[in-house]
Amino acid sequence: MRTLLNTLVLSMLLFSCQSQSVKNDTHKEEPKKASEETPNFINPTGNTITSRFNLPEGYDYTHLQEDSWAAFLRDLPLKPDGSVVKKYNGETKPNFQTYLAVVNLPIGNKDLHQCADAVMRLRADYLFSQSRFNEISFRQASGKTLKYSTWLGGKTPDKNNLWTYLESVFNTANTTSLDQQLKLKPIETLEIGDVFITKPMNGQLYGHAIIVVNKCIHPDGKVKFMLAQSYMPAQEIQILDNPLQPGCPWYDLDFGQTIQTPDWSFTSNQLKSFE
């Protein structure tokens, strides 16, 4: 009886985990077991991406301009170590080895701040911080463009009306429209701020988008990078765990044709950029 009960419980847990993810079966590499030795990549006292996560041994950062898109993302604020992701309605997102940290940015109380929305929000926040108001512009699902400076109608830009504008964007844009706005780029040129994105295909109802928020380089030329996402329903932005090395936020650039993330898989030709 105990064996039967354990089997039923295990089956329920597996179903629950699968319901949190939509994964591509093309990636065949097996993740490391939790019992394998993993370096400690987390500095619990750090409150930004760069101060929270340690570099892999032998790797280092490249110099970034202080006011660049890449520097903005690498310095995103984080909630205290151990924080859990909150959904728009205050509920907690279970962490099935999905994320290692939570970005400390408000997301509102509507079911709007999902995957592509989080990417557009970060881009808008950066451009706003640089007073580049005329560049805050996003394609809608209709094919039209919603520009912040036009939407303002003569009002002075501020954080409150920026968020109101963004909620209008979230309501009218999606992964397909963002995919159309971004520019395709070779995987070997990956930089902080680039986006892995896929629109709905092969019968899927939804696409997904994740953004590169950090990058480091080894003297031998090897590159690793870090990823962040929001998801459905609307939720806080999270720094992703690496399924192939649990507890590690770093992904190898030489991943081959398919990169596996906790909730989705992407191919090497699905990397795009705003710039």
3-state helix, strand, coil split of the chain in percent (to 5) is: 25, 20, 50
ω into 233 cis (within 30 of 0): yes
Q: pTM of the entire structure?
A: 0.86
Report the b/e string of 121-134 with b at 16+ CB within 10 A.
bbbbbbbbeeeebe
Residue 201's pLDDT is 74
Q: Is the predicted pLDDT of residue 14 greater than 50, yes or no? A: no
Q: What is the DSSP letter of 41?
A: -
User: Which of the two residues, 12 and 238, has the higher pLDDT score?
Assistant: 238
Tell me the C-alpha distance between 115 and 90, whole Å.
18
Query: In the numeric block, which tokens belong to residue 275?
Result: 């710039």
Number of other residues whose CB lies within 10 A of the CB of residue 198: 20
Task: Write out pLDDT tens, residues 33-63.
Answer: 443 456 899 999 999 999 999 999 999 998 9
Check: CB of residue 158 under 8 Å from CB of residue 246. Answer: no
Residue 232 has pLDDT above 50, yes or no: yes
Whether the per-residue pLDDT at 19 is higher than 90: the answer is no
Q: How would residue 6 be classed by pLDDT, with cut points 50, 70 and 90? A: very low
Average pLDDT over residues 72-95: 97
Sign for the pseudo-dihedral over CA of 73, 196, 40, 100: positive
User: Is the Cα torsion angle 247, 250, 256, 257 positive or negative in sign?
Assistant: positive
Looking at every residue in the chain, the average pLDDT score rounds to: 88
Q: Which two tokens stand for residue 262?
A: 């906790």
Tokens, residue 172 = 């009218």
CA-to-CA dists, residue 217 to 223, 224, 248, 251, 271, angstroms: 5, 6, 16, 12, 19
Return the pLDDT at 38.
64
Q: Which of 228, 219, 222, 221 is nearest to 192 (CA)?
A: 228
Instruction: List the chain domain ranges.
Output: 24-30+39-81+95-273
15 has pLDDT over 50: no
Angle between helices 115-129 and 159-172 (to 10 degrees): 150
User: What is the distance between the alpha carbons of residues 152 and 143, in angstroms, rounded to a whole number?
Assistant: 20
